[in-house]
Structures are given as C-alpha cells and as structure tokens.
Structure 1
Amino acid sequence: MEDPPIEECEHDDVNKTEQDTQIEESEQNHRDVEVAPALIAVHPTQNSVAVSVGSDLRVFNLPEDCAVTLVDESGGASHNDSIRTIKYGANGKLFVSAGDDKLVKVWSTESWRCISTVYSEKRVSALAVRNDGLHVCFADKFGVVWVVDLPGVDGSEAPLNKKAVPLLGHYCSIITSLEFSPDGRFIVSADRDFKIRVTVFPKKPLDGAHEIQSFCLGHKEFVSCLAFICTPDYLQGILVSGSGDSTVHMWDVISGSLLDTCEVGAKAEQLKFDASEANCSTVTDICTIPDCTLFAVAIQSLPGIMLLSCNLPSRTLSVVKVVSIVGENFIPTSLGSTISGGLLWMVTGASKLSGSDHSSLSRVKVISGFRKSSPDSLEQEPVVLGDCEIPGGAKLLEKLQGSISIDEKVFLAAAEAVKTAMCNLLIKKQYSVEKRECRKRTRNDKKMK
C-alpha cells in the first residue's frame, strides 16, 4: 500500500540533508524508548517453551532439559528489533516470529534452524499459522494481511526466502490479532477500530481473499486478542475476543452475531484490584484450553488470570474463578497452554525499560490443575507452581528469564511500561506536513514483485 507520488520540494541540498537527519534522529529517539511486552508460546505437546523480550528470542527444550541454540544462516541476529508476535503451528513442526524489524522468520522445531525468512514492507503486528502448516499469514500496521505458502519447507534444505502476497486489507487500521478457525475455513482479523472481520480463506490464497463471511461488531474500544474455543463435539469452534473496553465477547462467526458479553473489567474492580486508570482493565491476552470450554484471560490490572467458561448449548459466558499470584507484582503480558500438559504458562515483562539495568526483563509462572474431568470443569483447584515445581526448573527459568532473582520494583515498572507499549502499538505516529513530505522523498520500502 504505497503513498501517491509527489513532486520534489524546492529546498537546497544542505537544508534537505539537515532536515532529513533531524527526522531520522527524532524517529530513532522515539524507537529507543518504545518498549515491547514479553510474549510466551508453548509447543502443542509441551516439547519446548519460547519467550520473546524485545529482539531476544529464548527457547527451552523440555524433553532434553536444555536451552535451545537458534541457527539462523541468513546472517546476524535472529531479530534486530522488537518481536511483536510468536506462534507454534498446530502440529508443532513450525515456529514463527515477527516484529518491528519487518522480518517474519519460520523455524523448524526439530533443528531450530530458520528455514524461511520473509520480508515485510511494514512493521508486523500479528500472525497466524494455518492448522495444516501450509500457510502463514501476517499483518502489518498499515492494515494489510499477507500470506506466505510453505509447501516443501521442512528444514531439510537451505533456508528459503519466501515472498509474501497481499491477502486482504483493513483500510489503514492497525491489525491487532489474527486467527485461523479450527477447520481452516476462515481467517479472522481484528483491528484498533473495534472491528473483527471473518474472511473465507480461499483455495488459491496467493490470488487474494475476496469473500467476506461476516463482520463481528460490538466492541467499544480496540480489539486486542482473538481465540477459538473448540471441543470434540464442536469442531467448528466459537470465537471469543478481548478488548480495551474491558470485556470479552463471544461470537458466531458465520453470521457475525454477538452471542454474549462478559464484563471482566468490572469483575476485576469488584476484586479491589487497581482499576482506576484509563484502559488499565484492557484484556491483554486470551488462552484457550484444548478440548475444553474453559479459557484464561489476562487483564492489565489483574495480578493473575481470570478463568471463564463458555456454555456451548446456551452460548453464554461466565466467570468461573480468579487465580491470583499472591505476594508478587506479576501481571501477565502473555499466556500459553498445551494439548495434554494440564498447565497454563504465563510471562510478564518488557524490553527497553528506562532507568533499569535489565534491558530485557521477563518472569515466567505456571498454573497447574487444568486436566479436565469434563469439558466445562476442573478435576482440581488450579495452583500456582513454585519455581522448583515448574517443568525444567531453574535451568528453564535461567534461560527464559535471563535471571532468576529480580527486584519486585522492576516488575512494577514493567507493568507500567506494558501499558505504554500497548498504547504505542495502537497509535500511528503523527508527523508535521514538512516531515511527511520529506519522509515521502526518502522512502526505502522494499518493493515486492
């Protein structure tokens, strides 16, 4: 999506150089203080756990009880700017990371080699991996969703530089979340303008997606996260979404109908957590529990998680329980679960904290008790595991956190930084007319042919 061409401004070369330099320095200063929330992803069968903080990607192999060394033969660091999204494929063979460096990297989870590097024209804000592992979709901050086909990418050969093709667009609205439906029929995209679009994923995705199934409209603030609840008796799945309006909505994706709403922010206020600031009850992440109607919700003001239940016959939502992290300033920034592990993994933290000795801060916690006796109940009370009880123990924490012992005050600073980070992610930079004209003259976007 390119800006229209413009005529060159009549400035002399010296003034133009000085002005361009000032713009670049201003942008660099802005980026230096732009923090990135810590993210976590768990292999479907819990073979590995990945955490990203800023540009740092950390992976731990649980069966072998060791840290993973990433192999990226494209040269240089795996990422050179903040990672904004990480995901495993449904079969666990692929892992994908992307972010502000405009790189989408596909990794083989068997060798942890980067098997494909995809170049984006803009900074990446969300991604999704189709269940068959044949396609990766990613979205940028200009509202475009791109698709990459991955047939034949298995990590057995040299890394491939795949090209991305435009799939659909949200008309210049920042896309905040992408999800494929469990059956692969639809790709769902959400944006900062309160909108959720359900698009039929075409048989020939490289030709573009032209059929919109529905729009899910009802949130009053930006949509922050999407997830599908899927059980053996309901393979099509039900869509749930979280938002800056402190609610979780449940949707019928076929019709776009709003089925139910849960006021999770109001519940957090009832629990006397600090919900006095604007947007502090934003839903930051939703994590479903496989083959179960229970799902976990992370809220910006909540030191713990809120457990919700989706009643599929009546199509209603209800709060089951709040699991608090007692004695720590632990407000999760990202959640992850596995098919059979019975564990919910959480991370908190942020990168580029001003005034901190920790450039990439993260803290990992795990909640057990999610083995199901029935689809909508738990066998036992969820329990927050101690550090020594977490799979992988001290070795895992040392790898994923970078340090086992960190001052609690630093985590308070991280929680505040994450609020700012989410705000920054959803706001496009504003430039004066002069700066905008000079930026147009000096564009260096990679043209994709």
Structure 2
Amino acid sequence: MEDDAPMDFGESNKDIEVAPALIAVHPNQESVAVAVGSDLRVFDVHGDCAISLVDDSSKGSLHKDSIRAIRYGASGKLLVSAGDDKLVKIWSTESWRCVSTVCSEKRVTAVAITNDGLYVCFADKFGVVWVVDLDGTDGQAVAKKKAAQLLSHYCSIITSLEFSPDGKFIVSADRDFKIRVTVFPNKPLDGAHEIQSFCLGHTEFVSCLAFVCTLEYPQGFLVSGGGDSTVRLWDIYSGSLLDTYEVGGKAGLLESNGREEECCSVITDLCTNQDGTLVAVAVQGLQEIILLKCSLSARSISLAKVVPIGGETFIPTRLEVSFSTGLLWMVTGVSNLRGFEYPSLARVRVISGLKSNADFLQNEPFVLEDNEIPGGRKLLEKLQGSISFDEKVFMAAAEALKTAMSNLLIKKQYSVEKREFRKKTRNDRKIKQ
C-alpha cells in the first residue's frame, strides 16, 4: 500500500536539488563562460583578464536562482543565460552588457540561438519552446522583450535544443524518450506548425543533442545521448536511426578503480569536433572521456579512444569543443552542495588534439596541465573561484548530481489519488509580461 503522507507529493527532495556546473566557449575561443548556481563567470582569453558583466535591469546578482543553460551564438556576438529564476538574459560579447531580459512563465531548461543570430529560443519545464526576436538588440540594451510560443511537447521536460547546420530545423529532446524535428518557419513568432520527423529509439530520457556535418554532408546528421547509456546517430529528414553505440556494454569501459560501475550509466553530455569525425562523450560516474569515431558515409559510430582525465576525482557535467583550436573544454561541479565549506564549486579541465581527424591520428589527445590551459591560472581563478578543492567534495558532488538528475528526468508514477492531490496543491503562478 502506498503511503499517502503529504511529503511524498513533492516534485523532488529539495535537500538534493542541485544544479550542475555548465561551460560555454566562444566560437573563436575569445572567451569562456562558466555557470555554477546563480553565478555566471566569464574570462576574456584574448585579453587575458576576467570580465565583469553589466546588467542594468538587476540589483545585486545577475540571476537569482540556478542557471540551467548558457550558450554562445554561432557568430560569438551573443551569450545567453537562463534558468530557475524564469529569466532569459541576452548578453552582448562586445560590451558585456545585458541587452535584453526575457521573462519565462516557467523555469527554463534549455536555450538555442539561430545560426543567423536573429532569434533566441528557450524551453521551459512544462515542455513549451518559446522564441524571441533579437531585432534591435545589436549591442544596445532594449526594453524587456516578449517571447512567443513556437512549439510544445506535451507536458514533458525538454532537455536539449539544437538548430540544424543549415538552420532549416529546430530539434528538441525530452525526458519521455522523444526527439522532435520541427521545420523552423520564416515567421517564427507565428509558431512552428510543421513537424519534419520524430527520432524514436531511446528507452530512457534523452539528455543531450549535437550535430555532425562534413563538406560531403553539409546538412548534417544528429547524435543524441540518453539515460539508456547509448549514443545514437540519426537522419533527421526521415527520423531513421542509423547506428547505436552502447557505452555500458563495450570493452569494459565502465570498469574504474578496480570496481564495476553501474552497467547503465547516463550520458550526461556530448559534443562534436569541427570536421564531424569525432564525438566526445561524458558518462555519469566515469572519470574518462569516450571518443567515438563518426563515419557519415558509412552511417556509423564506433569507439575511437578512451581518454582518462586523471588527477582528482573529475566527472564532467558539461563538454564543449572549440572549433578554432580543437580543445575540448570540460567542467565539473554543482551548486547547493550542503555540508561542505564550498556549497558551490566548479573545476575546469581541457583536452587537446580534437580539431580534425588528421590532428587526432597524428597527436594523441591528452589532458592539459593547469598552466597549459589558455588563460592559465588567471582563467581558473575566475571560472572556478578557487584553484583546488578537496577530492571528497567532488565525490559528494557527483553523487548529488546523480540523485538530482534522477529526480528531475526519471518520470515518477503516481496513483490516481496522488495525482488529484498534486493538482489541488500545485502552485504555478504565471509571470505577467
């Protein structure tokens, strides 16, 4: 018999509701941004100095709650941050001022910027994707903009948003195993009403998306990772599943420190290199980066190499490759970690040698020492807030993130009575725009 105590009806245990550290890299690696909790930190790599963000619309902190998404535009002129405070902030990377703040009705879970930099899209926790017209925000602050509804997943948390390389489609993934490919319309403020395909095959939530494309295949193919411990390759035009790589079942990859990890480990993030030949994969609980070889002509993905990160306990929460340098930037860390001196922490590491397939074949990828990272210790001091942390903190952070992700993305099952109780006691107050 189920216990009907009111405490069971909560969405998650607030004591372990932590947010993972995030990282974003300027397309030309001119700057690097890290978000941990409500703190957004940016370092100017070219200028070799920390950046102070200016937001005339806020007093004190720039964000008032955990940031869940940060992203540079394709041109590098814009940086977008958004999260649990229901605010989407658009920053000019030339002045580092907030040029617009958009209010969301719900907490924001993912953001994307069109390739031409004309629109910002963001997804909320109820599965709605919104679009904002950036006309008039060219480095100049404007009044708060209103977002228009673009599309919707039916009451399912959207975990990732991506635009196709040609800009024709917007791809959205959710916790109910679905990947939706939608035609991005000429007038997006009027909504997107044409679905190109659904990519169906994951057996658990989809956690991340990325595109691979080459000169021979400029339209690109989609790669996805999820809670079912698989990376999948898709043709988005037809929705066809082209290949699947099972991380948990290959070559003892999850054997670490003399013990077996869970066979089904979550893919926490993935990204691709410039020439579309490699996919870097981060796995929950794995202190290594898995590099997959992608052959678009053969429509296949296969294991290329496993790169140990080494050093202190470092389990990446977000990855991003700089196309201009071939460096893989990684971050680990969380916010709201209770019981430690550092409730919010971040650690940045970098792997070299992923610019192209030729670079990968000629130069063995390896983790750079802290003083070899672009920006060196000055960058680390800004983005991390400290140079070093106790290893126990990172182990606790990894466990907290594992629990938090489970609470957020593994869908709970409720009895009819509990569902009715939740409906009566929910507190969803919409923000008037």
Farther-moved stretch of structure 1 (265-274 vs 230-239): 265-274
Counterpart for residue 128 of structure 1: 112
In the alignment, the residues of structure 2 paired with residue 185 and residue 392 of structure 1 have an alpha-carbon distance, to the nearest angstrom, of 36
Q: Is the 8 A contact 1:44 1:338 kept in 2?
A: yes
Q: Is the 8 A contact 1:59 1:67 kept in 2?
A: yes
User: Residues 310, 64 of structure 1: CA spacing in aligned structure 2 closer, same or farther, 3 A cutoff?
Assistant: same
| Residues 131-146 of structure 1 mapped to structure 2, 5 A cutoff | 131-146=115-130
SS in 2 for 1:231: coil
Q: Which of 383, 391, 404 is equivalent to 1:421?
A: 404
Do residues 368 (structure 1) and 368 (structure 2) align?
A: no
SS in 2 for 1:236: coil
User: Residues 117, 27 of structure 1: CA spacing in aligned structure 2 closer, same or farther, 3 A cutoff?
Assistant: farther
Counterpart for residue 225 of structure 2: 242
Counterpart for residue 378 of structure 1: 361
Deviation at 1:438, TM superposition (A): 4.2
Counterpart for residue 446 of structure 1: 431
Q: Which runs of 4+ in 1 moved over 6 A?
A: 26-29, 428-432
Deviation at 1:169, TM superposition (A): 0.8
Q: Is the 8 A contact 2:323 2:355 kept in 1?
A: no
In the alignment, the residues of structure 1 paired with residue 332 and residue 119 of structure 2 have an alpha-carbon distance, to the nearest angstrom, of 30
User: Residues 265, 236 of structure 1: CA spacing in aligned structure 2 closer, same or farther, 3 A cutoff?
Assistant: same
Farther-moved stretch of structure 1 (424-433 vs 332-341): 424-433
Deviation at 1:30, TM superposition (A): 4.6
Counterpart for residue 63 of structure 2: 79
In the alignment, the residues of structure 2 paired with residue 64 and residue 323 of structure 1 have an alpha-carbon distance, to the nearest angstrom, of 31
Q: Is the 8 A contact 2:273 2:279 kept in 1?
A: yes
Farther-moved stretch of structure 1 (267-276 vs 381-390): 267-276
SS in 1 for 2:398: helix
Do residues 107 (structure 1) and 91 (structure 2) align?
A: yes
Deviation at 1:258, TM superposition (A): 0.2
Counterpart for residue 3 of structure 2: none
In the alignment, the residues of structure 2 paired with residue 261 and residue 379 of structure 1 have an alpha-carbon distance, to the nearest angstrom, of 27
Q: Is the 8 A contact 1:39 1:85 kept in 2?
A: yes
Q: Deviations over 1:389-440 (max 9, x none)?
A: 1111111111111110211111101111111221233257887745642446
Counterpart for residue 259 of structure 1: 242
Counterpart for residue 424 of structure 2: 437
In the alignment, the residues of structure 2 paired with residue 378 and residue 147 of structure 1 have an alpha-carbon distance, to the nearest angstrom, of 41
User: Which ranges of structure 2 fall in alignment gaps of 5 or more residues?
Assistant: 1-5
Deviation at 1:248, TM superposition (A): 0.3
In the alignment, the residues of structure 1 paired with residue 31 and residue 404 of structure 2 have an alpha-carbon distance, to the nearest angstrom, of 27
User: Residues 159, 151 of structure 1: CA spacing in aligned structure 2 closer, same or farther, 3 A cutoff?
Assistant: closer
Q: Deviations over 1:275-311 (max 9, x none)?
A: 54475x1000011111232120000121021001111
Q: Give the counterpart letter for 2:161 in structure 1.
A: L
State the TM-score, normalizing by the size of structure 2.
Answer: 0.92
In the alignment, the residues of structure 2 paired with residue 391 and residue 285 of structure 1 have an alpha-carbon distance, to the nearest angstrom, of 23
SS in 1 for 2:176: coil
Q: Is the 8 A contact 2:20 2:401 kept in 1?
A: yes
Counterpart for residue 323 of structure 1: 307
Do residues 272 (structure 1) and 255 (structure 2) align?
A: yes
Q: Is the 8 A contact 1:42 1:49 kept in 2?
A: yes
Q: Give the counterpart letter for 2:331 in structure 1.
A: V
Counterpart for residue 285 of structure 1: 269
Q: Deviations over 1:313-361 (max 9, x none)?
A: 1101111000001232111000011121121100011111121111211
SS in 1 for 2:429: coil
Counterpart for residue 402 of structure 1: 385
Q: Is the 8 A contact 2:65 2:84 kept in 1?
A: yes
Q: Percent identity?
A: 67
Number of equivalences: 420
In the alignment, the residues of structure 1 paired with residue 49 and residue 10 of structure 2 have an alpha-carbon distance, to the nearest angstrom, of 39
Counterpart for residue 162 of structure 1: 145
Q: Deviations over 1:78-111 (max 9, x none)?
A: 1111111111000100000111111111100111
- For the aligned residue pairs, the C-alpha RMSD in angstroms reads 2.1
Counterpart for residue 169 of structure 2: 186
